[in-house]
Amino acid sequence: MVKIDGYGDNLTVNGVRIGDLSPADHEKIEKQKGGQNYSPLENVVVSHVKDSSTLICRKPSNNSIEAFVEEELLDGLCCYSAVNQGQLNTTIVDAVIAHLQNEKLPTVPRSIRHKYMSAFLLASTAFTGMDRVVPKVAGVESWELTFKLCRRWGQFVKGIPENECLVIGATGNFHGRSLSAVSMSDDPDSRKGFGPFVPGIELVPYNDFDALKDLFERKGEKIAAFSVEPIQGEAGVIVPDDDYWPKVSKLCKEHNILLAFDEVQTGFGRTGENFAHQLYNVKPDIMGCGKAAGGGILPVSFVAGRDDVIGTLTPGSEGSTFGGYPLASVVGIYAIKTLIEENLAQNAKIRGAQLMAHFENLKNDFPDKIKEVRGKGLLTAFEMHDSEKLDGHKVSMELLNNGIYAKETHHSTVRIAPALTITEEHVNILGEKIRLVISNL
Ligand SMILES: Cc1ncc(COP(=O)(O)O)c(C=O)c1O
């Protein structure tokens, strides 16, 4: 049996009150009872929110491993860009509370219409500039559905024979953890032991136009789509050449191949535009959105696309119990409202330029340590030279000791992607703390 009581620190499960647990206790429970698919930063446990960019965390006390102290942590990652609107954005939280308490929000599936779906579809199609939207839940599900729709369009509209359809991806991609997504991945850690993989996928080097052109010329008739991130996030913020997407978009049109963007991480203002493709003046035929589509409050994702692509769906061919259910619809609508009314893309542009200036100075002052700095808007990263001394994990730990939460991607790259609500003062703190840590390496 299990007995559960209380809220917050008083939340008690079978006599264990979470407010009494030390960071070491949390680690022990996670190691004993959880799957070991993450290696979280050591000796720190997040407790609650102080302001839109600041978390309160618990660290072991100097006196006793059994006890903890609370410290502020500036959130340099904002849940991998899921919290673009800032932690506990008041507009979104108020909308959730008002709808649950006053509007008596129901929970119903899609087999019966609910009134909030229309509002969500109106808001999301207007925001994306797309003909149609299909709601899902996790980011990977939006990518998975774009993948399926590309195949369906390939067969039903383009006329590729059944089971012969190809979808092209890019090296270094990250689209999530479903079997199709890891079938497209070239990261050995995410693939090992999970085969056999989904067929009909080929990769070209990211940002290599000639390789794509060559592949399209050889196999274009069987290719339904090029399915790709406009800027690669998990790969370490890889920004393609300015002319890459305009050239790719034109090439796709010439070969009647869909351009399918994964904007799960780059969308919702992150790169200084509402969607990263707007930086390049191109429009995908279909795209997946997630993360900040739920305002950092609920997992909300969706696929937005052209009429003839999403139009290939038929009743029974797709579905999701919680995709677009009333609460997700309300959160999705208010995530969009906040992004627009708080000018978050514009703030990402301004604060991103400020952060990149810190990085550029750092690179100039420590050319032996910093190899490259990259970014668009507030999706930024610095890459260190590949050496044992310049270890990304060590940097993350040292940043943590200095009150900053950031995490390395790969050995020598550290991504910094704070909330788009971040203040000028907080960006300067980020820049100064990073400088302190790098100078001491
Ligand atoms: C580009 C991209 N696509 C898809 C995903 C998967 O999203 P989720 O973890 O919500 O399934 C991520 C997550 O980091 C991502 O960065």
Res 20: pLDDT: 96
Polymer length of the chain: 441
Residue 438 token pair: 């790098």
HSE-CB of 129 using CA atoms within 13 angstroms: 8
For residue 235, report the distance from its CA to the centre of ligand 1, in Å.
12
Q: What is the pLDDT along the chain (441 residues), one digit of tens a residue?
A: 999 999 999 999 999 999 999 999 999 999 999 999 999 999 999 999 999 999 999 999 988 878 899 999 999 999 999 999 999 999 999 999 999 999 999 999 989 999 999 999 999 999 999 999 999 999 999 999 999 999 999 999 999 999 999 999 999 999 999 999 999 999 999 999 999 999 999 999 999 999 999 999 999 999 999 999 999 999 999 999 999 999 999 999 999 999 999 999 999 999 999 999 999 999 999 999 999 999 999 999 999 999 999 999 999 999 999 999 999 999 999 999 999 999 999 999 999 999 999 999 999 999 999 999 999 999 999 999 988 888 899 999 999 999 999 999 888 999 999 999 999 999 999 999 999 999 999
Q: Annotated catalytic, 262?
A: yes
Alpha-carbon 128 to chain mean position = 17
Nearest residue (CA) to ligand 1, atom 8: 139
Q: Annotated catalytic, 285?
A: no
Res 198: pLDDT: 98
Res 268: pLDDT: 98
For residue 288, report the distance from its CA to the centre of ligand 1, in Å.
10
Q: Annotated catalytic, 291?
A: yes
Per-residue HEC secondary structure of the chain comes to CCCEECCHHHCEECCEEHHHCCHHHHHHHHHHHCCCCCCCCCCCEEEEEEECCEEEEEEECCCCCCCEEEEEEEECCHHHHCCCCCCCCHHHHHHHHHHHHCCCCCCCCCCCCCHHHHHHHHHHHHHHCCCEEEEECCHHHHHHHHHHHHHHHHHHHHCCCCCCCEEEEECCCCCCCCHHHHHHCCCHHHHCCCCCCCCCEEEECCCCHHHHHHHHHHHHHHEEEEEECCCECCCCCECCCCCHHHHHHHHHHHCCCEEEEECCCCCCCCCCCCCHHHHHCCCCCEEEECHHHHCCCCCCEEEEECHHHHCCCCCCCCCCCCCCCHHHHHHHHHHHHHHHHCCHHHHHHHHHHHHHHHHHHHHHHCCCCEEEEEEECCEEEEEECCCCCCCHHHHHHHHHHCCEECEEECCCEEEECCCCCCCHHHHHHHHHHHHHHHHCC
Burial degree of 209 (CB within 10 A; 0-12, 13-18, 19+): middle
Residue bearing tokens 């929110």: 49
Res 387: pLDDT: 84
- What is the C-alpha R_g of the chain? 22
Residue 229 beta carbon below 6 angstroms from any ligand 1 atom: yes
Residue 323 beta carbon below 6 angstroms from any ligand 1 atom: no
Residue bearing tokens 């979104």: 92
Locate the ligand 1 atom nearest the alpha carbon of residue 80 and give its number: 14
For residue 233, report the distance from its CA to the centre of ligand 1, in Å.
9
Cα pseudo-dihedral 396, 398, 399, 405, rounded to 10: 50
> Omega before 246 cis (within 30°)?
no
Contacts with 314 (C-beta within 8 Å, 6 or more apart), sequence order: none
Res 432: pLDDT: 98
Locate the ligand 1 atom nearest the alpha carbon of residue 262 and give its number: 1
Residue 19 token pair: 């407010």
| Rounded CA separation 121/127 (Å) | 10
Contacts with 308 (C-beta within 8 Å, 6 or more apart), sequence order: 153, 157
